Amino acid sequence: MEAEAVAKDWWLYQGEGPGEDRRARLEAGSPPPWRDFTGRPDPAYGPPGCTGEAWERTRRRGEGYVPDEPEKDVVNTALHLRRPLLVTGRPGVGKSTLAHSIAADLALGPVLHWPITSRTVLRDGLYLYDAIGRLQEAGLEQVRLPGAPAAGPAAPAPSIARYLRLGPLGTALLPQRRPRVLLIDEIDKSDIDLPGDLLTVFEDGGFVIPELARLAKEEPTVAIGTDDDPDAGVAVTQGRVQCSHFPVVVLTSNGERDFPPAFLRRCVRLHLDAPGPEKLARIVRGRLGVDITGADGAEYQDLVRSFLERAEDGDLATDQLLNAIQLRLAGAWSAPGDRDRFLATVMQHLTGPTA
């Protein structure tokens, strides 16, 4: 059985002591001079903490993740350097779950999620602006019904704050004492320009909302909503969002494309291999509370062997093995003659000739 790594003194993620203590070390730690940012938190804004439904989803998903020692070394390197973490690997090896594991382990609150498609542009992650809605409302306020008395002085235009909301990346970059975890999922599916567009934001730790910058003289500070709370009303001054602590950014890639060297240089890279039998046993124990290494685990060891054999012909996700064991725990598909159909049902290949 593979021995679990002994925590190292410099580790924040999966290190020694309670998560709150290690989070305090992260908050108080000295970043590299070139990663030290100057944003000032809005004292009236309180980001989501470790309570509520969103946090429970993050905690449940993250607590069962089983990182190896090399994974912990790389994650902690990214945390100390205040750099984005680019995680590559085949589908189903746990790339997205790692972001939830970091948030759960360090008690950093719910994960912010930005799923990427081929149509995604940088502004989608920074902020959303409903310009059409604002124009429509301004127009309706000028409409006068037939027979109504003449209108008085023109009503002021509706506040732009009602039509602006920060996106997941914009919310993560708000100045906060406690960094948020942001999952940028499947960055390799993006338009070719997105990784390059992210460079300036990653380097500056902030961005400008032009719609607010244009109004800065008349309305220097505007309170707008966030990705996970449209009614948050966090203050943005002079149209600029500037972090005080760079967020924990986890970008995932299935390897469908290469990235420019300038983008790679600004990331700490981690490749996740498919887990072997020892790690799978630890994952099953962590997720389902089942020790498959003893005499009573022979049936589940057979499922692990079948999973690894089928994975040689095409990609499988670890949760497919967990589904198979969960079904057997529930007494499903238990007849001896059901084995082949059972495996074909719950362990269908994600890629490969039989996918």
The pLDDT, as a whole number, for residue 303 is 92
Q: Which residues contact 337 (CB under 8 A, 6 or more apart)?
A: none
Is there a domain that residue 136 lies in?
A: no
The residue from 271, 295, 324 where one domain ends is 271
Is there a domain that residue 144 lies in?
A: no
Same domain, 204 and 219: yes
Range of lowest pLDDT (90-104, 146-160, 264-278, 339-353): 146-160
The mean of the pLDDT values for the chain is 90
Same domain, 194 and 107: yes
pLDDT at 140 over 70: no
Is there a domain that residue 137 lies in?
A: no
Q: Tens of pLDDT along 227-286?
A: 999 999 999 999 999 999 999 999 999 988 899 999 999 999 999 999 999 999 999 988
For residues 266 and 255, give the distance between their C-alpha atoms in angstroms, rounded to a whole number. 18
Range of lowest pLDDT (50-59, 172-181, 219-228, 343-352): 343-352
Same domain, 200 and 337: no
Question: How many DSSP H helices and E strands does the chain contain?
Answer: 14, 11
Decide: 302 and 334 in contact? Cβ < 8 Å: no
The pLDDT, as a whole number, for residue 334 is 85
Decide: 15 and 22 in contact? Cβ < 8 Å: yes
Pairing of strands 181-185, 164-166: unpaired
Same domain, 167 and 61: yes
Looking at residue 94, the DSSP 8-state letter turns out to be S
The confidence band for 297, taking pLDDT boundaries of 50, 70 and 90, is confident
The confidence band for 132, taking pLDDT boundaries of 50, 70 and 90, is confident
Same domain, 120 and 246: yes
Segment holding 133, helix H or strand E: helix 131-141
Same domain, 166 and 305: no
Is there a domain that residue 85 lies in?
A: yes
Say which amino acid occupies 298: A
Same domain, 315 and 188: no
Same domain, 88 and 69: yes
Decide: 270 and 54 in contact? Cβ < 8 Å: no
For residues 27 and 48, give the distance between their C-alpha atoms in angstroms, rounded to a whole number. 16
Is there a domain that residue 12 lies in?
A: no
pLDDT at 1 over 50: no
Is there a domain that residue 80 lies in?
A: yes
Is there a domain that residue 281 lies in?
A: yes
pTM of the model: 0.89
Residue 241's nearest CA partner among 180, 164, 177, 171 is 171
For residues 96 and 100, give the distance between their C-alpha atoms in angstroms, rounded to a whole number. 7
Arithmetic mean of pLDDT, 198-208? 97
Pairing of strands 85-88, 268-271: parallel
pLDDT at 74 over 70: yes
Decide: 346 and 311 in contact? Cβ < 8 Å: no
Arithmetic mean of pLDDT, 30-47? 94
The residue from 217, 251, 271 where one domain ends is 271
Residues in the chain: 355
Same domain, 315 and 246: no
Decide: 87 and 251 in contact? Cβ < 8 Å: yes
Residue 182's nearest CA partner among 285, 287, 270, 112 is 112
Cα torsion angle, 322, 325, 326, 332, sign: positive
Cα torsion angle, 199, 202, 204, 210, sign: positive
- Output the six-digit token pair for 348: 């269908």
The confidence band for 49, taking pLDDT boundaries of 50, 70 and 90, is very high
Question: Where do we find the tokens 């746990």?
Answer: 94
Same domain, 167 and 299: no
Same domain, 260 and 328: no
The residue from 271, 295, 314 where one domain ends is 271
Decide: 162 and 141 in contact? Cβ < 8 Å: no
For residues 245 and 177, give the distance between their C-alpha atoms in angstroms, rounded to a whole number. 7
Same domain, 232 and 295: no
CATH classification of the domain holding 186: 3.40.50.300
For 288, the domain range is: 277-346
Is there a domain that residue 190 lies in?
A: yes
Domain count along the chain: 2
- Output the six-digit token pair for 107: 């008690």
For residues 12 and 25, give the distance between their C-alpha atoms in angstroms, rounded to a whole number. 7
